[in-house]
Amino acid sequence: MAALRVGVLVLLGLCLGCAAAAVPLVIWHGMGDSCCNPQSMGYIKKIVENKIPGIYVLSLKIGSNLIQDMENSFFMNVNDQVREVCSQLAKDPQLKGGYNAMGFSQGGQFLRAVAQRCPSPPMLNLISIGGQHQGSVYGFPRCPGESSHICDWIRKTLDLGAYTEAVQEHLVQAEYWHDPLKEEDYRKNSIFLADINQERGINETYKKNLMALKKFVMVRFLNDTMVDPPISEWFGFYKSGQAKETVPLKETSLYTEDRLGLQEMDRAGKLVFLGVKGDHLHFSEEWFYTTILPFLQ
């Protein structure tokens, strides 16, 4: 009888351990970065694993090696990237019960596309760190890592024709290029951002899937010199037809018409707007621990 009680307690302990298991985390890097750079995504993966014992962290790699992963952040059609990621997630048995997602810079809006287009396995919380959810415009004041020559070429290409078919199909940054002086061209020809932001009509599935999130956390860098305008990180943007005055999310038609469900999510307390002092993706380890980790635990 005593042995039976011990066996039952062991089984209960195992079940409780399973119930308390950490929710897996999927992270997607930004422009010019790769899944496993020890100074960026590799570092984030390591500190999360150190602080949340037993957590499964998947740092997304698009391509067969790190060089391809970095190059694809510039040149692989974003819709193809999202499809590839959805396939990776669906095939990963560790994610079948759901996962949290954390995207850095352009990885933030790319993971939002995953949430909207691929509800299985379910994304529970989405944390966008510097993601440009209303797009960005007017070049890159600076460029990550060793990619300055690539960014120089991108600037020239975008200036020549961001909304041409060839550029849209083969240049990632053109796919979330949002020119307030060419709103009609943007709405008509943007093959990625205009779609996920419901600029050409309402896809009720996109809306339903995004609203299924428990929390949608948006981090804005208050001294950002890379994203133009920085308020895009909180879903704000320039007033149409000019590039000086900006409007916050709640004054955009996306919110007032609730085309994406953000108004309803806001009323339900699902939207979290965080500001951090510093330039694009510049934050301290302490800030990450105290501000971001609670959403993963």
Active-site residue set: 105, 224, 280
Q: Of 246, 286, 295, which Cα lies nearest the Cα of 47? A: 286
Strands 25-28 and 57-59: parallel
